[in-house]
Amino acid sequence: MKNLLAGLLLLVFVSSANAAIIDNGIYTTDSTSGLDWLDLTETTNKSYNYVSTQFGIAGEFEGYRYATGLELNGMIENYTGIDLTGIIATSWSNDANIGGLVNLLGDNSTTTGGGGWFYSRGMTADTYNSGSETRQVFAVLIDYVDILRNDYTSSGTGINFRDEMSSNMGSFLIRESVPETSSFYLFTISLLGLFGAARRKV
């Protein structure tokens, strides 16, 4: 029984040690938060009003929802290791991780990127009330080509009309991550093996 418990603890430890940011093509998995992030280029030039109608069964973005600013900050923290607790706008010098995160979340800077920077820019679930009108808060992660300039991430500072479409604006969409099939099978087989070994010893 002790060996079985030790084996289970080892599996949990190995699973935790493998927590990472995983590039799956059109979406990126943050295994720490258990969330999949859809590539921004999939929603670029599509309005909040349109995207919001596509979360249901057979919709273009079935199973997804808008990420909050806090969830985006969590993704940035998990990728860069920088604590953003209570911060809605921050910058730091020559952080290569931001460039990597822009690549993962999707570069929708269009022609602007060729002028010296690349960025991931998208709407979040957060709202801003402007008089009688509700607008969506957007966030942007900027990767400057010039290494003398600070890479920059800003969350919670911009607003966007809900029916507005832009060639350099997408939507930060997330869904609960589905465990990778191979990892699930490996865990299950290992677990069955441990139980089998324990039964033979009884």
Nearest to 75 by CA among 46, 42, 38: 38
Are the C-beta atoms of residues 77 and 83 closer than 8 Å to each other?
A: yes
pLDDT of residue 82 exceeding 70, the answer is: yes
Across the range 88-104, mean pLDDT stands at: 68
Question: For 171, how many CA atoms within 13 A lie in the half-sphere containing its CB?
Answer: 28
CA separation for the pair 10, 78 (Å, rounded): 23
pTM above 0.95, yes or no: no
Across the range 41-61, mean pLDDT stands at: 96
pLDDT of residue 35: 97
Q: Is the dihedral of CA 13, 19, 25, 27 positive or negative?
A: positive
pLDDT of residue 23 exceeding 90, the answer is: yes
63 band by pLDDT with thresholds 50, 70 and 90: very high
Residue-wise burial string across 143-181, b where 16 or more C-beta atoms lie within 10 A, e elsewhere: bbeeeeeebbbbbbebbbebeeebebbbbbbbbebeeee
The alpha carbon torsion through 50, 53, 56, 57 (nearest 10 deg) reads -70
Angle, helix 69-80 to helix 96-105, in steps of 10 degrees: 130
pLDDT of residue 10: 39
Into how many domains does the chain fold? 1
Cα 96 to chain centroid, rounded: 17
CA separation for the pair 4, 14 (Å, rounded): 15
